[in-house]
Amino acid sequence: MAHRIEHKPAENRFEIHVDDALAGYADYTVIGGVRDFDHTVTDPAFRGQGLAGKLVAAALDASRADGISIATSCSYVEKFVEQNPEYKDLLAA
């Protein structure tokens, strides 16, 4: 299965697609220049394939490339950052 990740800034969302199906998304809110990831969802049909981790990693990499700090209101993103300390520098003070 081929997957692609898209950033949809007008919707404040990163999406992961498997073939042509939307498999999951990570929503965020921008507050004071901080991208607060507040909701991550994986469609039940695509769970257990590591797609959420790929999606969040891509979203955090894009945030770094954009020079934007993050907040982790979403428990999945919070746990991901804890388990992947290379992203801790993105956390807003």
The whole model's pTM is what? 0.95
User: Which CATH number is associated with domain 3-88?
Assistant: 3.40.630.30
3-state secondary structure of 41: strand
pLDDT tens-digit readout, 27-52 = 999 999 999 999 999 999 999 999 99
Distance CA 78, CA 40 (A): 11
Residues in the chain: 93
Domain ranges in the chain are 3-88
- Give CB contacts under 8 A, 24+ apart, made by 12-19: 14/55, 14/58, 14/59, 14/62, 15/55, 16/51, 16/54, 16/55, 16/58, 18/46, 18/51
pLDDT tens-digit readout, 65-92 = 999 999 999 999 999 999 999 999 999 9
